[in-house]
A and B are shown apart, each in its own frame.
Chain A
Amino acid sequence: MEDGNEEREKLTLVARKPCFGLPTACPTCLPVYVYLRFAHLPLKLEFNLIHPDSDQIPFVESGNYVAYNNERGGVIWSLKEDGIVDLDSDVRGIPEWVSTKAMVESWLADAVMYELWVGSDGKSAYKIYYSDLPWPIGKILYLKQVRAVKQLLGITSENAERREEEIYRRSTSAYGALSSRLGEESFFFENRPTSLDAVVLGHVLFTLHALPETSLLRSKLLDHTNLVKFAESHKAEYIDANSSASVPESDPSTSASRRGPSQWSSKPKSKPKREKTEEEKKFRRRTKYFLVTQLVAVLVFLSLLGGSNDAEVELEDDDDALNYD
């Protein structure tokens, strides 16, 4: 029990499961992990595999102290308020830093959320969040989450294409702005890591490793090589070096997609998709009309047939009655 208590006193980050070669594959948990790594704090990483729809995760705990992500603006802010770690003390006053952080936390976060739940086939999301839950529960929670994300992003069947365009447009301009802000530096501001670097690094690593190769967002990111280099070099320095024991072996199914930075390739979906949906809609409409016509024809046939049958039966009965008499 003594050992147990000591274990509990250590700073522990509880996050979602690791996969795709990342220490934690959830886009909200990864920036927190990176931030704590930037701060060089001795960190224990634990995983919660059964609560994918919780907004409390990620949380940091140490003994009886807990900083949840759904309180006071997030884990990073809570850690600063409670005096545990603060990397932003110098840059918080710089207006550009604040607006860049706001842009990343709104536009790019929305883009990742869209791409993970709506824009792709859902395999990545399933692997990260639901692979440790029994199948019926995982399936139902996944469908619930897709609906919730659509509601959050304001996507309906009428404006789906418009919203998609808007989200991609914003992410393109965000990437452009980040790329020009970063240039050839190692960090965005003051040549040292801040929470902005942690958030951007988390986003870039997630987009590169966890999203499928057909992802449009991923292909847009690959156009900015300095962002990709920024991500890979910091990953090697802060993440792979420190946590080589905790990052699990990637399973064979993802090893094919995990190539070096010089070999990133992208196969984006593009315009042909939109035309296809037009054709698909026409086809579906035609099928509906066809089925309805068929159904009506069958009903008419049955009613006519039923009527004529009754008439025949009555005639037969009359014949029998006559016979008896």
Chain B
Amino acid sequence: MAVPTESHPHLGQPENPNLSDPSPEPDDLDDFEAEIDEEDNDESEEDDEESEPITPEAQMRVDRVSMESLFKRLSTERVPVRVHDVLIKGNTKTKDFVIEAEVEALLKNATTVQQLLQAAGVANARLQQLDIFDSVNITLDAGPPELPGTANVVVEVSEAKNPLTGDVGIFSKPEARSWSLEGSLKLKNLFGYGDLWDGSVAYGWGQASEVSAGVSVPKFKALATPLTARISLLSQDWLKFSSYKEKALGLSLGLLSIGNHDLSYNLSWRTLTDPSQMASHSVRRQLGHGLLSALKYTFKIDRRNSPLRPTRGYAFLSTTHISGLVPDNRSLRFIRQEFDLRYAVPLGFYHAALNFGISGGFIFPWGRGFLNTPSYLPERFFLGGNSSPVCTLRGPTSILGFKARGLGPAEPRRQERGNSNNESSDASTGMDFIGGDLAATAFADLSFDLPLRVFREAGIHGHAFACTGSLTKLTENAHRELSFQKLRESFRCSAGFGIIVPTKLFRMEVNYCYILKQHEHDQGKTGVQFSFSSPL
């Protein structure tokens, strides 16, 4: 048989130019046999063999010998084959092109049997990932007898009998800023396009609640990327921290999701109100309605070995948010950029690792008179909170030791009534944290296993950390007064150690934090604290 000498680096088969070596490598054979096991009803009939009338035992021996020689040949030589046809069976509701789009190109590109088997495995995984089938079987069959060296691939799918499923869990939606407890109902494949409809209700950690409904289509006609659309009504209560409540009715469209890139469009109507009537001056000026029409581009690389306890690798995330894309100059207009960089170095003993991270971001308005307008309050950066900077990749948001929204520019709230003559009114005036336009955080974290075996097996480990962060205002000509010295002085620091308990849903930490430096109105507290984070 003529042996093609093309090379296919992505297949994982070892390069073997000298194919006349008949001895099979045990690894190849194992992988090969494993692939055979993956496919159900895998039959490889290469040639029709004439059967002579011989005893059953002899027949079995002959068959076994021929199968073994076939396996040997398949594992050592590149047996060329061409896929003649891909047949799709079992789809009563799902449109053919949905399944073909996932598997056809993959299968038709295979030129040897080994490639075909591998491609079949990948195609199986992809179809399972669509989440609309109960089971997927891929069978390789001989091609039509008049065309030698061809194979037919039969894809048999079994559609989900019950299209409606319910789910309760802890997730993170792109619109919500923190993770949340969510209950959702999913309707699968309503129209046969592989579409997934879902409605969900979520309660979040930051006093947020959200009701939303969405649809996602894996491949709509000729478009190469999956499309998602989501309508949501989100309400967040920041009265305790910044004296305002936020309500947002929004529509978001996922436009592009290829590899590490993600592009989405968001149109939402935001309303800020203050039912407590205690807001500070800056917050009072921002109460009202606004229309946000924004494009969000995210670039993410995560090469760490584990999102919950990274011990090796790096991660980079950059999010760019450009708002004000309607020609109407009355809508909210700003540019917001944030980035995260994480790096983990293993230390070799006690499963220890050193994690470094740095995050930064800025927001600035644009449009007419942008130098004098303040940035939009809910989109500013707020530091503090109880989530660990090691797992969360959400921009500059967390410094352990400080309360949620507990540091940065602050303004006094409205004076209490009847205290205008009272000298001690200063103590009762609360402060509103109004966030900042330029934020930066950095941390270093040393994690290690605890000496007891029971902890090690449960995944409970210890860590020591140091964090720092800064939050400053840039808009309304504040950037003119900003100097390097002032920026350096604006950094707050904290350090501490603690124990991390990873559970299935989230990561819980019990930390002792010591505040090394904080400013006058910051809410950092030295002591024992709990912190929860989700790797999403």
- A residues near B (Cβ < 8 Å) are 1, 8, 14, 48-52, 54, 56, 61, 63-66, 68, 70-71, 82-83, 132-137, 141
Q: How far is the CA of A141 from the CA of B290 in the complex (A)?
A: 12
Closest to B285 in A: A48
5 contacts between A and B (CB under 8 A): A64-B280, A66-B277, A68-B277, A132-B330, A141-B289
Residue from A50, A82, A141 in contact with B420 in the complex, judged by beta carbons closer than 8 Å: A82
Closest to B272 in A: A51
Chain A residues in 8 Å Cβ range of B414: 64-66
Residue from B269, B281, B287, B412 in contact with A51 in the complex, judged by beta carbons closer than 8 Å: B287
B526 within 8 A of A: no
Q: Are the CB atoms of B291 and A54 closer together than 8 Å?
A: no
Closest to A71 in B: B277
Closest to A140 in B: B269
Q: Are the CB atoms of A133 and B330 closer together than 8 Å?
A: yes
Q: Are the CB atoms of A134 and B331 closer together than 8 Å?
A: yes
B284 within 8 A of A: yes
Q: How far is the CA of A50 from the CA of B376 in the complex (A)?
A: 13
B326 within 8 A of A: yes
Q: Are the CB atoms of A50 and B290 closer together than 8 Å?
A: yes
Q: A54-B288, A66-B284 are in contact. Are A134 and B415 (CB under 8 A)?
A: no
B529 within 8 A of A: no
The tally of CB-CB contacts under 8 A between chains A and B is 59
**B324-368 at interface with A (beta carbon < 8 Å):** 326, 328, 330-331
**B159-189 at interface with A (beta carbon < 8 Å):** none
Q: Would you list the 9 A-B pairs with minimal beta carbon distance, nearest first?
A: A50-B288, A51-B288, A134-B291, A64-B415, A66-B414, A134-B328, A134-B330, A134-B331, A65-B415
Chain A residues in 8 Å Cβ range of B326: 134
Q: Are the CB atoms of B289 and A133 closer together than 8 Å?
A: yes
Interface secondary structure of B, over-half rule: loop
Q: Are the CB atoms of B328 and A54 closer together than 8 Å?
A: no
Q: A64-B415, A64-B429, A133-B330 are in contact. Are A54 and B287 (CB under 8 A)?
A: yes
Q: Are the CB atoms of A137 and B284 closer together than 8 Å?
A: no
Chain B residues in 8 Å Cβ range of A54: 273, 287-288
Chain A residues in 8 Å Cβ range of B461: none
Closest to B273 in A: A54
Chain A residues in 8 Å Cβ range of B507: none
Chain A residues in 8 Å Cβ range of B415: 63-66
| Other 17 A-B pairs with CB < 8 A, given A50-B287, A64-B415, A133-B291 | A8-B281, A14-B284, A48-B285, A48-B287, A51-B287, A56-B274, A61-B284, A64-B413, A65-B414, A65-B415, A65-B420, A66-B415, A82-B417, A82-B420, A133-B289, A134-B326, A134-B328
Q: How far is the CA of A129 from the CA of B288 in the complex (A)?
A: 12
Interface secondary structure of A, over-half rule: loop
CB distance from B521 to the nearest CB of A (A): 14
Interface size bracket, B side: 20 to 34
Q: How far is the CA of A82 from the CA of B417 in the complex (A)?
A: 8
Q: Are the CB atoms of B291 and A61 closer together than 8 Å?
A: no
Q: How far is the CA of A132 from the CA of B429 in the complex (A)?
A: 34
Chain B residues in 8 Å Cβ range of A137: 269, 289, 291
A8, A52, A56, A70: residue with the most chain B Cβ atoms closer than 10 Å: A56
Q: How far is the CA of A68 from the CA of B280 in the complex (A)?
A: 13
Q: How far is the CA of A18 from the CA of B285 in the complex (A)?
A: 17
Q: How far is the CA of A137 from the CA of B289 in the complex (A)?
A: 8
Chain B residues in 8 Å Cβ range of A70: 277
Closest to B287 in A: A51
Closest to A81 in B: B417
Q: Are the CB atoms of B277 and A56 closer together than 8 Å?
A: yes
Closest to A83 in B: B420
Q: Are the CB atoms of B289 and A50 closer together than 8 Å?
A: yes
Q: How far is the CA of A1 from the CA of B411 in the complex (A)?
A: 13
Contact code string B393-434 (vs A, CB < 8 Å = 1, else 0)? 000000000000000000011110100100000000100000
Q: How far is the CA of A137 from the CA of B288 in the complex (A)?
A: 11
Q: Are the CB atoms of A135 and B328 closer together than 8 Å?
A: yes
Q: How far is the CA of A133 from the CA of B292 in the complex (A)?
A: 12
Chain B residues in 8 Å Cβ range of A50: 287-290
Chain A residues in 8 Å Cβ range of B287: 48, 50-51, 54, 56
Chain A residues in 8 Å Cβ range of B328: 134-135
Q: Are the CB atoms of B289 and A61 closer together than 8 Å?
A: no
CB distance from A272 to the nearest CB of B (A): 39
Q: How far is the CA of A83 from the CA of B417 in the complex (A)?
A: 12
Residue from A48, A65, A71 in contact with B288 in the complex, judged by beta carbons closer than 8 Å: A48
Chain B residues in 8 Å Cβ range of A141: 289
Chain B residues in 8 Å Cβ range of A61: 281, 284
Q: How far is the CA of A1 from the CA of B290 in the complex (A)?
A: 27
Q: How far is the CA of A136 from the CA of B274 in the complex (A)?
A: 23
Chain A residues in 8 Å Cβ range of B481: 1
Chain A residues in 8 Å Cβ range of B273: 54
Q: How far is the CA of A82 from the CA of B420 in the complex (A)?
A: 8
**B239-270 at interface with A (beta carbon < 8 Å):** 269
Chain B residues in 8 Å Cβ range of A48: 285, 287-288
Q: How far is the CA of A14 from the CA of B284 in the complex (A)?
A: 10
Chain B residues in 8 Å Cβ range of A56: 274, 277, 287
Chain A residues in 8 Å Cβ range of B429: 64
Chain A residues in 8 Å Cβ range of B291: 133-134, 136-137
Q: How far is the CA of A132 from the CA of B332 in the complex (A)?
A: 12
Chain A residues in 8 Å Cβ range of B274: 56
Closest to A135 in B: B328
Q: How far is the CA of A51 from the CA of B4 in the complex (A)?
A: 73
Chain B residues in 8 Å Cβ range of A66: 277, 284, 414-415
Q: Are the CB atoms of A51 and B289 closer together than 8 Å?
A: yes
Q: How far is the CA of A65 from the CA of B415 in the complex (A)?
A: 5
Q: How far is the CA of A71 from the CA of B429 in the complex (A)?
A: 19
Closest to B275 in A: A56
Q: How far is the CA of A141 from the CA of B249 in the complex (A)?
A: 14
Q: Are the CB atoms of B412 and A64 closer together than 8 Å?
A: yes
CB distance from B368 to the nearest CB of A (A): 13
Q: How far is the CA of A48 from the CA of B281 in the complex (A)?
A: 13
Chain B residues in 8 Å Cβ range of A8: 281
